[in-house]
Amino acid sequence: MTRLIASGLIVLLVGTACNLSSRVPAGITRRIDSLSRRISNLSSRLPSFGVQLSQPEPEKRRLFAGIEYERIVRQSPRLMVIHIITIDLRADGLLPLVSPGNPDREQPSTAKTTSQFLQEAELQLAINGDAFTPWYDLGLLGYAPKPGERVTPLGFAASRGVTYSQDSDSQPTLYLYESNKASINALEGQIYNAISGYKLLVRNGALMEGLNSSSAEPRTAVGLNQGGNRLTIIVVDGRQAGYSQGITETELAQLMLDRNVHIGMNMDGGGSSTLVIQGPDGEPMLLNSPVHRGIPGNERPVANHLGFRARD
């Protein structure tokens, strides 16, 4: 009963925010959408009767040619399960891909889970991408978007030379060139694949100022070495008692520095954080435990993704 009452209150608050967003100038819409996200997150923190995981063992292995995986398991300062992917962008047969969009549509992207993207594009590895709108999660009373619904990424995005989303609020952008070199926040060639995130975590091999040091959440981040030929992906699970509670921005940035990341940025996180690979049977296989709608292992449909085709 308590959960139903709380969900009803969330419906009222989010509904008010969503109604306001349709009546204000575009420049304020992002702030209202952010308010809606914060209110909706309350629903995922209410008691749930879903699956509860225990912490796995640490692991380190080669996934594909040029792609290495490490799982780090910590109990201090809180429970954390950390997934780290290291990609040599110079590896033979490696091809990055940002999920495509339609620049002629008002909402250029089609919401898909990361597993859907990986399977449809015939990739070997994929993660979630940028934040997007519309989005809400009302717990037991529903959510949006559902797979196939139209959505808009909040930052700059391009796929195979086609730009389909412009930056709405000075978000950092990862550029992946046709030569397979990469850069963050500094365009160094013709735009080919590009995807954006929330904020910079590391720049010039140092922590950015003003990072959050108190809020532990599920998070996804990407970073580059100084040469722009090694990409590090970090996905940290959270909001799952007994398994992983999440990581702060400061802790995530420090993890990047520990991996010799020269510049790195935070992607969309929370229930969006997802890491998928192609399994031995050719089907998508989750490496992390996403927590869409408060359910461990449940993937959220998102606006765009970053994926890689690689040889065995």
Over its length of 312 residues, how does the chain's per-residue pLDDT go in tens digits? 333 334 444 433 444 444 434 344 444 444 445 544 544 444 444 434 446 689 999 999 999 999 999 999 999 999 999 999 999 999 999 999 999 999 999 999 999 999 999 999 999 999 999 999 999 998 788 899 999 999 999 999 999 999 999 987 789 999 999 999 999 999 999 999 999 999 999 999 999 999 999 999 999 999 999 999 999 999 999 999 999 999 999 999 999 999 999 999 999 999 999 999 999 999 999 999 999 999 999 999 999 999 999 999
How far is it, in rounded angstroms, from Cα 298 to Cα 227?
36
Residue 121's CB: how many other CB atoms inside 10 A? 17
Cα separations (Å) of 216 from 7, 73, 106, 203, 245? 23, 15, 34, 22, 7
State how far the Cα of 236 lies from the Cα of 269, in Å rounded to an integer.
9
Q: For position 33, what pLDDT does the model report?
A: 52
- Taking Cα atoms as reference points, which of 175, 198, 202 lies closest to residue 260? 202
Q: Which two tokens stand for residue 2?
A: 């308590």
Helix segments in the chain, DSSP class H: 2-21, 26-45, 114-121, 249-258
Give residue 51's pLDDT: 60
Residue with tokens 């989303």: 165
Q: Give the model's pLDDT for residue 142.
A: 87
Q: What is the pLDDT of residue 215?
A: 97
pLDDT at 92: 97
